[in-house]
Amino acid sequence: MIDLIKIRRDLHQIPELGFKEYNTQRYIVDILSKINCKLYLINTGVVAFFNNNKEKTLAYRSDMDGLSIKEENEVEYKSKNDCMHACAHDAHMALALGICDYLNDHYQEYPHNFAIIFQPSEEIYGGSKLILDSNILNELKVDKIIGIHLFPKLEKGKFLTSKTIFASSREIDISIKTKPIHAANKKEGKDSLKIAINLINYINRIKSKSSLIHIGYLSSGVSRNIVSPISNIKGTIRSKNDDKKICDKIIKKIIKIKRKIKIDITYDFSSYLPMINNDRNLIYKAKEKIPLAISYHTYYQGEDFSLYSQKYPSLFLLYGIGDTPYLHCSNFDFDDSLLKDCLSKLIKLLSID
């Protein structure tokens, strides 16, 4: 049995951003090259295929990339880079490697083949789309796919899922451009910063019981004594059902501003991930094999596993890691002795047919 904690901590020290996971890929390939599987390299991703000469293949997916966050934890395995595994992808990869290590000796005991996916760029849009567009899953005859996410604030060692586990996720990108003018003559100009603030206030007033709307970034201006000629707004919409209505409201407001003030406003809402919808049959088959709580709650986290769930019967589970810092925090860490328990339960799911 491979050392899950060592692998997780090794990977924790070398996080890389989406589509730049070169050292991460090398680390994974080095381990998998000693295992009886066929490797497919897709950009910075890896797919390990265990060919049992069966008609169907069960896929298991982990993600690889880190976040553009400077780690604050003072631990011996602290990140050596200016980014961080603040979303547990280091643990996800360790677990996937643990599955591969187990399958090395046991894959022939199952009624299907296995494709273990190490997917790049989950945090930056495009990773799951890359894997799907490569057609590798069709070539390997995948007919169902499983994924998990370690999750703070859930009871340690507890698996949880629901029919719709994660909401949809849409990125908001808005750019406002005017002409620069000295502050002494600001009455003769148009202040992009003021326009941006008014637009943000409008967006923040949009009411929705089934959506979360958040503006997390605003940049503006070129100098303290120049009326700002450019402002950029970045935000997100997480929704259970009315994402389009919210987009339409924001677009109508932008068009109204453009007509009234005669300025250049561009927007892009095209980066979109749908909800993760789990297959009901897979949920109940999983419940027969491991302790699994079934909830009716939908979380507002976004996850590009959703693109797999649109094409294949899918099962996405949350695994509780207790009272840790939240995901995407600079002090995120967890008790990685839990990995052994998590792996033992994941192995039981490999027999789902």
Domains of the chain in start order, with CATH, are 4-166+275-349 (3.40.630.10), 168-268 (3.30.70.360)
- For the chain, percent of residues with pLDDT exceeding 70: 100
Q: Which of 265, 216, 266 is nearest to 238 (CA)?
A: 216
CB 338 within 8 A of CB 157: yes
Q: What pLDDT, on a 0 to 100 scale, did the predictor assign at position 242?
A: 75
CB 322 within 8 A of CB 335: yes
Alpha carbons 315 and 147: distance in angstroms, whole number: 6
Alpha carbons 173 and 222: distance in angstroms, whole number: 20
Residues 242-292 pLDDT 10s: 799 999 999 999 999 999 999 999 999 999 999 999 999 999 999 999 999
Q: What pLDDT, on a 0 to 100 scale, did the predictor assign at position 39?
A: 98
Alpha carbons 116 and 59: distance in angstroms, whole number: 6
- For the chain, percent of residues with pLDDT exceeding 90: 99
How high is the mean pLDDT of the chain?
Answer: 97
Alpha carbons 81 and 71: distance in angstroms, whole number: 9
Residues 102-114 pLDDT 10s: 999 999 999 999 9
With 80 as the cut, is the pLDDT of residue 9 above it?
yes
Distance from the Cα of residue 26 to its chain's centroid = 22
Beta sheet of 142-151, edge-to-edge order: 38-42, 45-50, 113-119, 57-63, 142-151, 314-320, 159-162, 292-295
Mean pLDDT of 162-178: 97
CB 150 within 8 A of CB 321: yes
Q: Which of 24, 25, 65, 59 is nearest to 41 (CA)?
A: 25
**Would you place residue 225 in the very low, low, confident or very high pLDDT band (cuts 50, 70, 90)?**
very high
Mean pLDDT of 44-68: 98
Q: What pLDDT, on a 0 to 100 scale, did the predictor assign at position 341?
A: 98
User: 12: which DSSP letter?
Assistant: H
User: 84: which DSSP letter?
Assistant: B
Alpha carbons 57 and 137: distance in angstroms, whole number: 9
**Would you place residue 142 in the very low, low, confident or very high pLDDT band (cuts 50, 70, 90)?**
very high
Q: What pLDDT, on a 0 to 100 scale, did the predictor assign at position 104?
A: 98
Strand partners, 146: 60, 315
Q: What pLDDT, on a 0 to 100 scale, did the predictor assign at position 63?
A: 98
H or E element in which residue 273 lies:
strand 272-273
**Would you place residue 321 in the very low, low, confident or very high pLDDT band (cuts 50, 70, 90)?**
very high
H or E element in which residue 62 lies:
strand 57-63
Q: What pLDDT, on a 0 to 100 scale, did the predictor assign at position 1?
A: 82
With 90 as the cut, is the pLDDT of residue 49 above it?
yes
CB 21 within 8 A of CB 7: no
User: 155: which DSSP letter?
Assistant: P
